[in-house]
Amino acid sequence: MQRESTKSSHEKRLYLAVMSVFILVSLFAAAGVSADETSNGQPSPQGAVFTIAEGLAIATTESRVMNIADQNINITEKETDVAMSILLPSINAEISQGFLSNKPTAIFGAMSVPMANRNSLSYGVSLKQTLYDFGANTSRYKASLESLEAAKVDYERIKNLTALEFIVGCYEVLEYDKLIDVARKEIARLEQHLKVAHELFKEGVITKNDLLQAEVKLSDVKQRLLSVKNLRMVSASKLNIMLLRPFMADVSIAGPPEEETAAEDVEIGHFLEMAEKQRPEIKIIGHELEILALQEKMRNSEFFPSFYAQAGYSYTENDYQVYEGNWFLMLGAKINLFSGGSTKAELSKLRFRKEKLAEERKKLIDDITLEIERYYLNMKSAIEKLMVMKDSVAQAEENLRINRTRYEHGQGTSTDVIDAITLLTRTQTNYYSALYEQQRAYAGLLYASGTDLKEIFK
């Protein structure tokens, strides 16, 4: 009876342990589902197949680069608050307790008259407001607003640059996927050729040299496949970093259809016009020029007085005064009469900086023009390559079929078949390289013209 009771107790403990493990696994699974969701409630691409648009939504909002850019905006907003505080009145309060070794005393003829307590309490509160300073403080505040706008434009610049890097990275991974597929097909063709060669060698139709040639070529292709896989892993790791995913997580991208082509009919002048209107770098220089103009106004105001008002209440403990506390109001003006020429030097420096920015803007436009031209020519070149290779893949496949048939019937050589396989592989590789080069160049062209890539690839 005791043994049965003990057995029942063990079974209960085992049951409880199994249930506990089940509950823990369920909780971890729920936590994993929650962790795979982004801040907007959408599942993040954690091992599943994702589109370029889904990846862009994360890379352009949650990546470390974007978080840093967002903090720049927060810092600039606080600098705006600091500039705003100068326009508001300043309020100060003070309290003190004085201790004197001798009581303050005045002499009136033959008499000594005490003037104040030996120990006294003093306190007061005052409010001071600048009434007019010829636009110095308002210009400082407007300059901070321009800095904030420049920081926001810079955020958009970083976001678009991040989008370009992500899109280019996706096309690299897709290209490597195609090249891996091409290499695997080449290995399959060589293995099939090697199998036929073994049969012909057994029958005494070919020599050992044909077998060795096919085996060496097969080994070379397998090594090349490993190299392409390694390159693909590096590109995938870059995407994982941008998506805040595990470094070695698998990346599977649902790429656009291969027949999709860029808008090759658009002239280069169209992109140049868009760039001058939309490129964030040009807008940032515009804000910087406005900031310099406001700073110049601030410096010019130093040649004029600033007017202020001050009011408050002060109290000093003194048994010998009629009124220990007083309310007061003061109107005043102050001006710097001489500062060693620093104001004129600052104004000259601001003018030089404006001239420098104007030249930098011209150089920036020249650089953007070259950037657009480079992307445009790369796109046109890739399109022309695709047109040339439009039927070349089918022709290379037919060439391989003919040489393989001739070899199987003893009319061709092993070298002819291996050359045909190599030609087909090279043709397919060139086709996919041109295809994804075209798409990368088109994405770069859109970026160079200032287009929001996230909107284009959504």
Average pLDDT over residues 274-294: 94
Q: Tell me: pLDDT of 146 over 60.
A: yes
pLDDT at residue 48 in the model: 64
* Residue 96 β-bridge partners: 122
Average pLDDT over residues 424-452: 94
pLDDT at residue 5 in the model: 43
Q: Tell me: pLDDT of 13 over 70.
A: no
More confident call, 196 vs 373:
373
CB 403 within 8 A of CB 415: no
Length of the chain in residues, anyone? 458
CATH class of 52-99+111-450: mainly alpha
Q: Tell me: pLDDT of 427 over 90.
A: yes
Q: Tell me: pLDDT of 9 over 60.
A: no
Report pLDDT digits (tens) over 55-78.
999 999 999 999 999 999 999 999
Report pLDDT digits (tens) over 78-111.
999 999 999 999 999 999 999 999 888 888 888 8
> What is the DSSP-derived secondary structure letter of residue 301?
G
Confidence grade of residue 170 (pLDDT, cut at 50, 70, 90): very high
Alpha helices for 279-412 (secondary structure H): 280-300, 342-388, 392-408
Identify the burial level of 238 via C-beta atoms within 10 angstroms of its C-beta, where 0-12 means exposed, 13-18 middle and 19 or more buried.
Answer: middle
Average pLDDT over residues 349-370: 95
Work out the percent of the chain whose per-residue pLDDT is above 70: 87
Average pLDDT over residues 214-225: 92
Report pLDDT digits (tens) over 24-54.
334 334 434 333 443 344 444 545 688 899 9
Confidence grade of residue 263 (pLDDT, cut at 50, 70, 90): low
Distance of alpha carbon 49 from alpha carbon 68, whole angstroms = 28
Report pLDDT digits (tens) over 329-341.
999 999 989 888 8
pLDDT at residue 255 in the model: 67
Q: Tell me: pLDDT of 348 over 70.
A: yes
Q: What is the pTM of this model?
A: 0.81
Confidence grade of residue 457 (pLDDT, cut at 50, 70, 90): confident
pLDDT at residue 248 in the model: 87
* Mean pLDDT over the full length of the chain: 86
**Tokens found for residue 308:** 């202020």
253-254 and 50-51: which strand pairing? Answer: parallel
More confident call, 146 vs 44:
146
Distance of alpha carbon 278 from alpha carbon 452, whole angstroms = 9
The DSSP code sequence of 261-296 is ---TTS-HHHHHHHHHHH-HHHHHHHHHHHHHHHHH
What are the residues whose beta carbons fall under 8 Å from the beta carbon of 274, sequence distance 6 or more? 449, 450, 451
